[in-house]
Amino acid sequence: MTREVRVRVDLMNVSIDGYAAGGTITVDEPIGGAGELFARFDGRVIAGVDRADAPITSDRLFTSVWGQGVGAEIMGRGKFGPQRGPWGDDGWRGWWGEDPPFRTPVIVLSHHPHPPIEFANGTVFHFRDASPADALAEAKELARGGDVRIGGGPSTVRDYLREDLVDFVHLAIQPIVLGRGVSLWEGLSGVHDRFDIESMATPNGVVHQFWNRH
Amino acid sequence: MTREVRVRVDLMNVSIDGYAAGGTITVDEPIGGAGELFARFDGRVIAGVDRADAPITSDRLFTSVWGQGVGAEIMGRGKFGPQRGPWGDDGWRGWWGEDPPFRTPVIVLSHHPHPPIEFANGTVFHFRDASPADALAEAKELARGGDVRIGGGPSTVRDYLREDLVDFVHLAIQPIVLGRGVSLWEGLSGVHDRFDIESMATPNGVVHQFWNRH
pLDDT in tens, A1-37: 345 789 999 999 999 999 998 877 777 777 777 788 8
Distances (CA, A) of A168 to A11, A101, A173: 11, 20, 16
Q: Has residue A51 got a pLDDT over 80?
A: no
pLDDT value at residue A3 = 55
Q: Please check whether residue B90 lies inside any domain of the structure.
A: no
Q: Measured between alpha carbons, how far is A88 from B119 in angstroms, rounded to an integer? A: 53
* Cβ-Cβ contacts under 8 Å, B68 against chain A: 48-50, 64
With beta carbons under 8 A apart, name residues in chain A contacting B65. 49, 56, 61, 64
Q: Under an 8 A CB cutoff, do A212 and B57 touch? A: yes
pLDDT over 60 at B1, yes or no: no
Q: What is the mean pLDDT of chain A?
A: 91
Q: Name the band, by pLDDT with cuts 50, 70 and 90, for residue A97.
A: very high
Q: Considering its fold, how many domains does chain A have in total? A: 1
- In the predicted structure, residue B126 carries a pLDDT above the cut 70: yes
Q: B61–A210: do the CB atoms touch at under 8 Å?
A: yes
* Closest chain A CA to residue B47: A68
pLDDT tens per residue, range B22-48: 877 777 777 777 788 888 888 888 888
Nearest to B61 among A50, A62, A147 (CB): A62
> CA of A25, closest CA in chain B: separation in Å?
31
Residue of A nearest to B208 (CA): A58
Q: Check residues B185 and A47 and name the one with the higher pLDDT.
A: B185
Over the Cα atoms of chain B, what is R_g? 17
- Chain B CB contacts of A50 under 8 Å are 68-70, 146-147
Is B128 a domain residue? no
Residue B1 lies in a domain: no
Contact B21, B156 (CB under 8 A): no
Does a structural domain hold residue B184?
A: yes
| A53 contacts chain B (CB < 8 A) | yes
Number of A/B CB contacts below 8 angstroms equals 89
When CB atoms are compared, the residue of B53, B168, B200 closest to A56 is: B168
Classify residue A40: in a domain, yes or no: yes
Q: Are A109 and A77 in contact (CB under 8 A)?
A: yes
Residues 80-119 of chain B with CB under 8 A from chain A are: none
Burial of A181 (0-12, 13-18, 19+ CB in 10 A): buried
Weakest-pLDDT range from A35-49, A186-200, B121-135: A35-49
CATH code, domain with B177: 3.40.430.10
Contact A3 B53 (CB under 8 A): yes
Is residue B186 situated within a structural domain? yes
Mean pLDDT of B148-164: 96
Q: Is residue A93 part of a domain?
A: no
Interface test with A, best of B2, B50, B59, B208 (most A CBs within 10 A): B50
What residue numbers bound the domain in which B11 lies? 7-82+139-213
Contact assignment for A50 to B61 by CB distance below 8 Å: no
What ipTM is given for this predicted complex? 0.82
Identify any residues that bridge with A210 across adjacent strands, giving them in sequence order: A170, A198
3-state DSSP of A23-79:
CCCCCCCCCCCCHHHHCCCCHHHCCCHHHCCCCCCHHHHHHHHHHCCEEEEEEEHHH
Domain assignment present for B2: no
Residue with more model confidence, B12 or A30: B12
